[in-house]
Amino acid sequence: MEAESDRKSKQTQFLGWISFIVHQYRLIADYDKIGPCVADCENVIMAYNGAHKTMTEVMLNNEYFSPWVALGCVCTYMWFGGKMLIGGSTTLSLGIFLANIQAIKTIGGSYTSIFTALLEAQSCIHSLRQITHLMNLPTDLEMRRESNNKRRIRTAELQEDLKKRFPTQQYRQHLDKVPIMLENLQFQYVTTHIDSTLNLLGKINLEQGTLSVLVGKLSEGKRTLLRIMAGVILPHGGLCFVPSHLRVLHVAAEPFFYRGSLLENLTFGMDHANPDSQQEYVFKVLNRLFATNRLKQHFLGGHRLDWAKVLSRSECQTLNLARCVVANPHMLCMDKPLKVFDDERASACLQLLREFVNNRGVEQDPQTIASR
C-alpha cells in the first residue's frame, strides 16, 4: 500500500514537472534556465524510477503469495490427513482424502483470483482518492444560485412595474433603459498565506446602450470589477445588479484558442444555423478590424494550427475582438481590448465597438435594431 502511494506520488510529481516545462518553456529559454531544469528533471525521473522499481518488486511478490498460501494449505492437510489415513482412521478414506486435496486446490485457485482483483483495486485507490478529493472541493454553486434567483426576482419586479406604467409598445424601450447597478462592492481574495479584502465603495449606474470606460490606478480593482459584472466571480458584499435577460460576455486580456480552424475558434459555442456564424459575416468583421493578409489566408484556408504560437500578439488580439463581436452578446466586459494596437488600429477597433453599441451589432441591418 505504501509502495503504491509512493509510486503514484512520484508519478504525479513527474507529470506535473513535465507539464510545467512544456507550458513555461519560453520563460525557461529566455532566462537561460534549460540546464538547471534538465538537472531537476533528471532527479524527478530517478525518484520515479526508484519508486516504480520498489512497486514492481512488491507486485511480483504479491503474485506468488496466493499460490504459496494454497500450497501451504495442501501440505498441511496432507500432513495431518496422511497421518490419519496411515493410522487407519475410520472417518477418512483414501477417496475422501484425495477429494479434499482437490477441493483445497480449487479454493486456492479461487482465492488467487480474489486476491488479484484486490490488488487491482488497490492500484486504483490513490487515483480514486484524488478524484474523490477533487469532486468534493467547495464550489460557489449555492452562491450563484442565490445570486441568480435574486437577479431574476428583481428583474421580474422591474418588468411588472414597467408594464403597469407604460403601454405595451413603450414597454420594451423602457426595459432597455434599466441600468446596471453597482454599489459598495466587496471582494475577498483568499490565498494560502494572505487574505485581503477589496472595497469598492460608492455607487455606479451604467445605462444600457452606452460605451463606458473604466480607468484608475494600478491594483485598485478594475479587472475585479469587470469580472464581477460579467459573473465570472461573485462579490462577498454589496450590490451588483445586471438585468437577468441580458447575456453578458467577459473578454479576458489574454486570448485563448484551441487547435481548430479560425472559423471554429471565432464561432465557438454558436449555433451553426445562426447567420452571424457564417464565414461571410465573420470575414466582414475581420476586415473591419484590419486583419492582416496572413490572418485572412489562414481563415479562408481553414488551417488547423497552434494559433498562440503561429500568430503575433496583435493578430491574436484581433481574433479576440472579432470573436466577441461575432458572438453578439447584450453586454461586453472587456479587459484592456486595445492595449497591443497602434493608434490607427486602436481607432478602428474603437469605431467598431461604437457601432456594436449603437446598432446592437456590427454589419447588421439598422431597420431590425428594435428586435435585437
Does the pLDDT at position 266 exceed 80?
yes
Q: What is the rounded average pLDDT of the residues 195-219? A: 86
Please say if the pLDDT value at position 149 is more than 90: yes
**Closest to 246 (Cα-Cα) out of 265, 260, 229:** 229
Q: Residue 222 above 70 pLDDT? A: yes
pLDDT band of 38, cuts 50, 70, 90: confident
In the chain, the percentage of residues whose pLDDT exceeds 70 is 92
Say if residue 335's pLDDT is above 70: yes
Rounded Cα distance, 104 and 73, in Å:
7
| % of the chain exceeding 90 in pLDDT | 25
Q: Is the pLDDT of residue 108 over 90?
A: no
Which grid cell is 346?
A: 486602436
Per-residue pLDDT at 196: 79
Task: Using the predicted structure, report yes or no on whether residue 272 has a pLDDT greater than 90.
Answer: no
Judged against a pLDDT cut of 80, whether residue 112 lies above it is answered with no
Say how far apart CA 157 and CA 160 lie, in whole Å.
Answer: 5
Which DSSP category does 232 fall into? S
Other C-beta atoms lying within 10 Å of the C-beta of residue 66: 20
- DSSP per residue, 300-361: HHT----HHHHS-HHHHHHHHHHHHHHH--SEEEESSTTTTS-HHHHHHHHHHHHHHHHHTS
**Beta-carbon count within 10 A of 361 CB:** 18
**Cell reading at 188:** 475577498
- For residues 165-187, give the mean pLDDT: 84
Q: What is the mean pLDDT of the chain?
A: 83
Kindly indicate the confidence band of residue 298, based on its pLDDT and cuts at 50, 70 and 90.
Answer: very high
Q: Does the structure show a pLDDT above 80 at 184?
A: yes
- 99 SS3 class: helix
> For residue 372, what pLDDT is reported?
60
- At residue 184, what are phi and psi to the nearest 5 degrees? 45, 55
Residue-wise pLDDT tens digits, 116-144: 777 666 666 767 777 788 788 888 889 88
DSSP state of 4: H
pLDDT grade for 154, boundaries at 50, 70 and 90: very high
Is pLDDT of 370 > 70?
Answer: no
Mean pLDDT of 327-350: 90
Q: For 291-297, what is the mean pLDDT?
A: 91
Residue 123: per-residue pLDDT: 66
Q: Which of 118-127, 164-173, 208-217, 350-359 has the lowest mean pLDDT?
A: 118-127
Residue 193 has what pLDDT? Answer: 66
- Model-level pTM? 0.69
**What pLDDT sits at residue 314?**
92
Is the distance from CB of 201 to CB of 184 less than 8 angstroms? yes
Between CA 171 and CA 97 the distance in angstroms is 96
Question: Which of 75-79, 88-92, 211-215, 357-361 shows the lowest per-residue confidence on average (mean pLDDT)?
Answer: 88-92
Q: What is the mean pLDDT of residues 200-221?
A: 88
Please, which residues have CB within 8 angstroms of residue 281's CB and are 6 or more apart in sequence? 275, 326, 363
Cα–Cα distance for residue pair 76/69, rounded to 1 Å = 10
For the chain, where are the alpha helices, taking DSSP H only? 2-23, 25-30, 34-86, 94-135, 141-165, 168-175, 222-230, 262-266, 279-288, 293-301, 307-310, 313-327, 343-359
The pLDDT value recorded for residue 354 is 92
